[in-house]
Amino acid sequence: MRIAFIGLGLMGLPMATNLVRAGHDVWAYNRSERSFEGTVAGSIAEAVTEADVIITMLPDSPDVEAVVLGDNGVLASAGRGALLIDMSSIAPATARAVATAAAEVGVRALDAPVSGGEQGAIDGALSIMAGGSTDDFEAARIVFEVLGSTVVHVGPAGSGQTVKAANQLIVAGTIGLVAEALTFLAAHSVDLEPAVEVLAGGLAGNRILDRKAAGMIAHTFTPGFRIDLHHKDLGIVIDSARESGTAIPLGAVTAQLMAAARAQGHGSLDHSALLLVIESLSRPA
């Protein structure tokens, strides 16, 4: 298949590379110059005009709106019948607006955000949650199976982004609790590595302990998913919860802690750097 891929960031580049290595003809466009194994297009129009599938992997809702809905954007150049798959993490309302605009010009649309971080993108082992029609989801399966190991259709347009918001709520809350546990253990002079080993083997076991605890113990926060982006995602969670009248008291506190991490200058670090905020709350003045 000919695939246009727009957005070669931390996640997008390995995803697009995996599609090339799977045998697809991938034309990629990125605002800044990036080295890429496939074809680098000089514009959005050049990337998407002949594409069967168009994938966008962008930072936030305004970026998707500009790239997809703008005067020189995806929908202005995509062929009728093309399949647009937005794999960014954006507001559910934006995903629904994109789906409506796409339908008006004969383009099929899915919102299919991902979870798994940079390593999941590199390994082709992302969790993909897709919103849109069942037929369009089945048409996209050949692409999804290159990129992810868990691929699920979760409902109509906007549903993928709603599930992703719930994912980010759980991940942030779990990071916060792991950070509290590590700070608590350190305050009692417990050896952290064996403590994490036993916690991970019991009911407290979770993927944050498995994948993030070692870096948190070492205070190594090389970004797999940045504080800045998780702060953005929690904003989506808060807005969507308010819209639906859903109470998320723990999520609201976690969102404030993530905002504090960003305000303290940790935005470019991995989201596990939330530990630094928790630790700072326990230090004597």
Amino acid identity of 67?
V
Instruction: Classify residue 79 by its DSSP letter.
Output: P
Q: What is the pTM for the complete model shown?
A: 0.92
- The answer to whether residue 232 is catalytic is no
Domain ranges of the chain: 2-155, 162-282
CATH fold label, 2-155 = Rossmann fold (3.40.50)
Q: What angle do CA 216, 218, 223 make, to 5 degrees?
A: 55
The Cα-based distances of 203 to 186, 206, 209, 243, 276 in angstroms read 21, 8, 12, 34, 25
Task: Determine the distance from the C-alpha atom of residue 267 to the mean position of all C-alpha atoms in its chain, rounded to a whole number.
Answer: 16
Q: What is the pLDDT of residue 155?
A: 98
Instruction: Classify residue 39 by its DSSP letter.
Output: E
- Helices (runs of H) and strands (runs of E) counted in the chain: 13, 9
Q: What is the pLDDT of residues 255-268, one digit of tens each?
A: 999 999 999 999 99
Q: What is the pLDDT of residue 185?
A: 98
Structure tokens at 117: 């971080």
Q: What is the pLDDT of residue 93?
A: 95
Ranges of the chain with pLDDT below 50: none
The Cα-based distances of 147 to 18, 97, 268 in angstroms read 7, 25, 25
Question: How far is 228 from 152, CA to CA, in rounded Å?
Answer: 27
Question: How far is 283 from 285, CA to CA, in rounded Å?
Answer: 6
Q: What is the pLDDT of residue 9?
A: 92
CA torsion through residues 246, 275, 221, 210, sign: negative
Catalytic option among 153, 164, 231, 271: 164
Q: What is the pLDDT of residues 32-49, one digit of tens each?
A: 888 899 999 999 999 999
Q: What is the pLDDT of residue 285?
A: 59
CATH of region 162-282:
1.10.1040.10
